[in-house]
Structure 1
């Protein structure tokens, strides 16, 4: 994935629209963004594929990302479309297991990628670890609401 430079003020404006990110204390927000590498993807560019090992935790700054999975019969099912401000990829960053789905740019996209080492360092902070637990709880409740 190609790296790019993004203005910090515009990143903060977009990310603060997300309630999860906005609820982080200011120091944790700043450390998370400081640890992140900006990445740009063209439409169709791959963030990660199902079965790959984690390379980090991601925040979407611009564009849209399609989250999908492929059934055993080869049929693709789009699970959701992520919009700017959304953070994702924490499950595999936490447990080290392969990715459970594909994430591909539905349009040109700009992201932040926090590498596994930086993610693990942030997880040593109780506030960040609690925030990740709340993010997982939110996703779990969303899935159960669909059943």
Structure 2
């Protein structure tokens, strides 16, 4: 299983963190385990965390207009999801479901907001997610 500090560095938003900041934030991450089929979040739910996958797999899906499941991505160890809602606080744009037993670390939006000075360059990315959301319409 991947260590939380290493996971943070794999997320582009956090690559520029100083070592001491990375350690401090890693200590605040919330560990979570999902079983196969467990739902991490659903499309339209309030978004309040970014999740980094320490081990396992998560599929990101949307429903087509015909009601079919459309797999947008299958994420695995070292990948992350939920970054758009972390940055802009808007509802989730897809479902995230465990494909197998999955171990995650979550960064809550309240922690993000509390330490936004540490994330100064990252904070500016919030406007970019607002611009890219319209591009993620249902297929």
TM-score (normalizing by structure 1): 0.73
**2:81 corresponds to which residue?**
88
Q: Aligned-pair distance for 1:15?
A: 2.1
Cα-to-partner distance string for 1:41-95 (whole Å, 9 max, x where unaligned): 0011111000000131111101011011112221111011111112321211222
**1:28 corresponds to which residue?**
21
Residue ranges of structure 1 left out of the alignment (5+ in a row) = 1-5
Alignment partners' CA distance in 2, 1:36 and 1:16: 10
Q: 1:97 aligns with which of 77, 90, 97?
A: 90
Alignment partners' CA distance in 2, 1:83 and 1:11: 14
Q: Does 1:61 align with 2:54?
A: yes
Cα-to-partner distance string for 1:96-141 (whole Å, 9 max, x where unaligned): 211000111111000011222112123232xx2424639x68xx7x
**1:50 corresponds to which residue?**
43
**2:65 corresponds to which residue?**
72
Cα-to-partner distance string for 1:4-30 (whole Å, 9 max, x where unaligned): xx8xxx514752772635553212321
Q: How many residues align?
A: 128
Going from structure 1 to structure 2, the CA distance change for 1:116 and 1:87 (only over 3 Å counts) comes to same
- C-alpha root-mean-square deviation of aligned residues, in Å? 2.7
Alignment partners' CA distance in 2, 1:24 and 1:92: 20
Q: 2:107 aligns with which of 89, 111, 114?
A: 114
Higher helix share: 1
Alignment partners' CA distance in 1, 2:8 and 2:105: 14
**1:130 corresponds to which residue?**
121
